[in-house]
Chains A and B, each alone.
Chain A
Amino acid sequence: MNLLVSDLLLQLPLAAVPVDARMGLGEDIAYQSVGIVVVIGSLATIALILVGLNRILGAIGLLAPAGGAALRKLPPVATTGELADLAPDLRAAIAAAVYTTLGPDHHIIEIQPKLSPQMLAWSMEGRRQIFQSHRVR
C-alpha cells in the first residue's frame, strides 16, 4: 500500500470532492478552508519539529553556544591609552568585527589607527576606484 500524505489529505471529506470549474460559494469556502488548514498545519508541524530538534541537539550538547553566555565568562578589560581615546562607536564596530571573525574568546588589547604605507596605498586605490566610478560634477 503506497499511500502519500497528500493522498490521505485528499480523502478528507471536504477535499475529496473534485474541484469543479464553477463551484458554489459554500464549496469554495470549504475548499479554501482545507487549504489553509493544510498550510497552517504543515508549518505548525515544522515549527514543532524545530523545537524538538532544538531540544535533542541541546540534550546531546550539539547546540550552538549562546554568544551572551560565552561573553560573560570573560571579565571586562579597562580601556586605557589610545583605546580609550577612540570614539565609542568606532570601538563598538571594531569589537563587533573581532567578535564576528574571531569569536567571543578574544579581547582587544591594542588598536593601531595609523596605517602602514602599503595599507594606505590600498585604501587610496580603493578610494580612487570609487571616485572613478562616479560622475564628476
Chain B
Amino acid sequence: MINDLITFFGLTGFIHITWQMAVMWGVVLVLLYLAVYKGFEPLLLVPIAFGALLANLPTAGLVNEPSPPVLSPVAGEVVEWRVLVGQEISEGEVLGIVRSSDPGRPGTTELRATGSGKITMLHALPMDRISEGQLLATVYNHEPGGLFYYIGRGIKWEIFPPLIFLGVGALTDFGPLIGRPIVLLLGAAAQVGVAATFIGAMALGFGSGESASIAIIGGADGPTAIFLSAKLAPHLLPAIAVAAYSYMALVPLLQPPIMRALTTTRERKIRMKSLRPVGKLEKLCFALLVTVFCILLVPAAASLIGMLMLGNFLRECAVTERLVKSAQNEIINIVTIFLGTSVGITMTGERFLRGETLMIIGLGVVAFGTATAGGVIMAKILNLFVKEKINPLIGSAGVSAVPMAARVSQIEGMRADPNNHLLMHAMGPNVAGVIGTAIIAGYYIATIALR
C-alpha cells in the first residue's frame, strides 16, 4: 500500500513544482490584487493573471499541441537522426542532432520532441543544409491538443485583437474627432513616444522586431500591442501585454505630473468652444474614408483598421442594432476572456522571469511618458497657429487608453478650473490615438518584415 501511495505521489504534480513557478505565483497574486482590490484594468488583468496561474502549475493536456512539428532550432546542418519514419516517440525524446553554422551559437544541438506521436515524415537528411525554424519532421498524434492550444490560436493567428477592435469601434463615437479634425494631430504626436522607445530599446540591445513590439506599449492600445508582438516578437508577448495593460491602468498616476510640468496654469484654464453637431452621414462617410485611406496606406494594419471601422459603421448606420449590441457586449466580452487567458498562459516562469522583462517594464514607462509629452507639446504648437485655442491638457489623451486618458484630461482641467469640462474635447485625440497607433503598427509590420 505504501508503495502504491509513493507511486501515486510520483504521478501528482507536486514533484514538478519549480522555483520559477513559485515566484510566478507571487506575480499572479500581485496582478490579482491590483485588478481586484485596486481596480486596475480588471477585465484584462484577471484573465491574464488566472491564465498565468494555470501556466505555472504542472497541468496536463492544457497547452499541448495535437501534432507538434519538429522545427530546426538553428541554421546549419543535420548531423544525424536517431529515429525512423513510423517510430513512436514520446515528449522530450531526442530525435536527432543538428549543428549550428551561426558563429554566435556554435556547436551541436539536440532535437527534442515537443509532444508524443508517430513520425510520419523526415524532411531533411543528414548533412542537409537547414535554416532556423525549418520543418524537419512531421509527427502524427491521434490525441487532440489542449484547450489553450486552440484558444491560443486566436492570438497566434491574429484573430482576437481585430475582434476586440470590432467591439471598440462599435463602442466609439468619432463625433468629437469629426467635429474638430485638427485634434487628429494630437493623436499622431503621441506616437512620438512609440518612436522614442523604439530607439531606446534598440540601444538596450533588443532586435528591431522586439523594439517595435516594446515601443508600441506607448500607444496604450492593448489589442494593437498584442497584435504587433504576436507578429514580430511572440516570445516577448506576455511581458509586453502585462506592461501595456498595467500602464494603461496607471494612466491616472503617470500622466498628470507630466501634463502639469509641461503646461502653465493659464494654459490649463483654456476653455474650448463647444463642438459642432456631427450628423449620421458625416460619421458614415468618415468610417468608409478612413477604412479606404488607412488600408491603402498600410495594408498590414488592414485587419485592425477594417474591424474598427466596421464596428463603427454598424453603430452609426443605425439599422444593425442587434449586430452592434453583439459587438459591444457579447463578442468583446468573450474575446476579452480568451485573449486575457491566452496571454496569461504564455507567462511561464522560464519565459517571464528574465532581465528583459524588467527592461520592458522600464521602457514602458518611457513610452507612456514621452507619448503623453508628445501630445501636450503638439497642442501647444498648434496654439501658435490656430484661432480657437486648444487646451494642451487634451493632448495627453492622444495616447489612446480610451477613455481613461480623456478622463484624466477632464480631471486635470477641472483642477485648474472647476467649471471647465474637457471630456468631450479630449475624446477626439483619444480616438485619434487609436488610429495613429494602428498606423504606426502597420508601418512597423510592413518595413520590418522586409528583413
Please indicate whether A and B come from the same complex rather than being unrelated chains: yes
Mask, A109-132, CB within 8 Å of B = 1, is 000000000000000000000000
For the complex formed, measure the closest distance between the CB of A93 and the CB atoms of chain B, giving whole angstroms: 16
Q: A46-B184, A64-B277 are in contact. Are A39 and B440 (CB under 8 A)?
A: yes
A-B contact count (CB 8 A): 134
Q: Is A102 an interface residue (CB 8 A)?
A: no
Closest-by-CB residue of A relative to B174 is A50
Binds B, one of A30-38, A74-82, A84-92: A30-38
For the complex formed, measure the closest distance between the CB of B266 and the CB atoms of chain A, giving whole angstroms: 27
Contacts of A20 in B (CB 8 A): 208, 451
Question: Which residues 1-60 of A have a CB within 8 angstroms of B?
Answer: 4-6, 9-10, 15, 18-23, 25, 28-29, 31-33, 35-36, 38-40, 42-51, 53-54, 57
Contacts of A50 in B (CB 8 A): 178, 181, 184, 286
CB within 8 A of B446: which of A10, A23, A32? A10
For the complex formed, measure the closest distance between the CB of A32 and the CB atoms of chain B, giving whole angstroms: 4
Determine whether the beta carbon of B451 is less than 8 Å from that of A47: no
Determine whether the beta carbon of A32 is less than 8 Å from that of B198: yes
Determine whether the beta carbon of A66 is less than 8 Å from that of B185: no
Determine whether the beta carbon of A35 is less than 8 Å from that of B282: no
Most interface-central of A42, A63, A66 (chain B CB within 10 A): A42
Determine whether the beta carbon of B195 is less than 8 Å from that of A6: no
Q: Is B2 an interface residue (CB 8 A)?
A: no
Q: Is A62 an interface residue (CB 8 A)?
A: yes
CB within 8 A of A47: which of B184, B209, B285, B296? B184
Assembled-state Cα–Cα distance A25/B203 (Å)? 8
Q: Is B311 an interface residue (CB 8 A)?
A: no
Determine whether the beta carbon of B443 is less than 8 Å from that of A46: no
CB within 8 A of B443: which of A35, A48, A66? A35
For the complex formed, measure the closest distance between the CB of B33 and the CB atoms of chain A, giving whole angstroms: 22
Determine whether the beta carbon of B185 is less than 8 Å from that of A10: no
Closest-by-CB residue of B relative to A40 is B188
Determine whether the beta carbon of A31 is less than 8 Å from that of B207: no
CB within 8 A of A44: which of B185, B296, B435, B447? B185
Contacts of B6 in A (CB 8 A): none
Q: Is B182 an interface residue (CB 8 A)?
A: yes
Most interface-central of A9, A18, A39, A63 (chain B CB within 10 A): A39
Contacts of B451 in A (CB 8 A): 18-21
Assembled-state Cα–Cα distance A6/B298 (Å)? 6
For the complex formed, measure the closest distance between the CB of B199 and the CB atoms of chain A, giving whole angstroms: 5
Determine whether the beta carbon of B199 is less than 8 Å from that of A51: no
Contacts of A19 in B (CB 8 A): 208, 447-448, 450-451
Determine whether the beta carbon of B294 is less than 8 Å from that of A42: yes
Contacts of A62 in B (CB 8 A): 279, 281
Determine whether the beta carbon of B293 is less than 8 Å from that of A45: yes
Contacts of A49 in B (CB 8 A): 289, 293
Determine whether the beta carbon of A38 is less than 8 Å from that of B277: no
For the complex formed, measure the closest distance between the CB of B201 and the CB atoms of chain A, giving whole angstroms: 9
Closest-by-CB residue of A relative to B199 is A28
For the complex formed, measure the closest distance between the CB of B337 and the CB atoms of chain A, giving whole angstroms: 24
Closest-by-CB residue of A relative to B450 is A18
Closest-by-CB residue of A relative to B435 is A43
CB within 8 A of B296: which of A5, A35, A43? A5
CB within 8 A of B299: which of A6, A31, A42, A57? A6
Q: Is B155 an interface residue (CB 8 A)?
A: no
Q: A5-B297, A21-B451 are in contact. Are A38 and B443 (CB under 8 A)?
A: yes
Closest-by-CB residue of A relative to B195 is A32
Closest-by-CB residue of A relative to B205 is A22
For the complex formed, measure the closest distance between the CB of B184 and the CB atoms of chain A, giving whole angstroms: 4
Determine whether the beta carbon of B207 is less than 8 Å from that of A64: no
Closest-by-CB residue of A relative to B206 is A21
For the complex formed, measure the closest distance between the CB of A46 and the CB atoms of chain B, giving whole angstroms: 6
Q: Is B202 an interface residue (CB 8 A)?
A: yes
Contacts of B278 in A (CB 8 A): 64
Closest-by-CB residue of B relative to A53 is B285
For the complex formed, measure the closest distance between the CB of A74 and the CB atoms of chain B, giving whole angstroms: 17
Contacts of B209 in A (CB 8 A): 21
Q: Is B142 an interface residue (CB 8 A)?
A: no
Counting from the closest, the 3 A-B pairs by CB-CB distance are: A64-B279, A32-B195, A47-B181
Give me the interface of A with B, judged by CB distance under 8 Å.
4-6, 9-10, 15, 18-23, 25, 28-29, 31-33, 35-36, 38-40, 42-51, 53-54, 57, 62-67
Given contacts A43-B435, A53-B282, 15 further A-B contacts (CB under 8 A): A6-B298, A9-B297, A21-B208, A25-B202, A35-B191, A39-B191, A42-B298, A42-B439, A43-B188, A43-B439, A47-B182, A47-B184, A50-B184, A62-B279, A64-B277
22 contacts between A and B (CB under 8 A): A4-B296, A10-B447, A15-B447, A21-B209, A25-B203, A28-B198, A29-B199, A32-B198, A33-B195, A35-B191, A39-B439, A42-B293, A42-B298, A43-B439, A44-B185, A46-B181, A46-B289, A46-B435, A50-B181, A51-B181, A57-B279, A64-B281
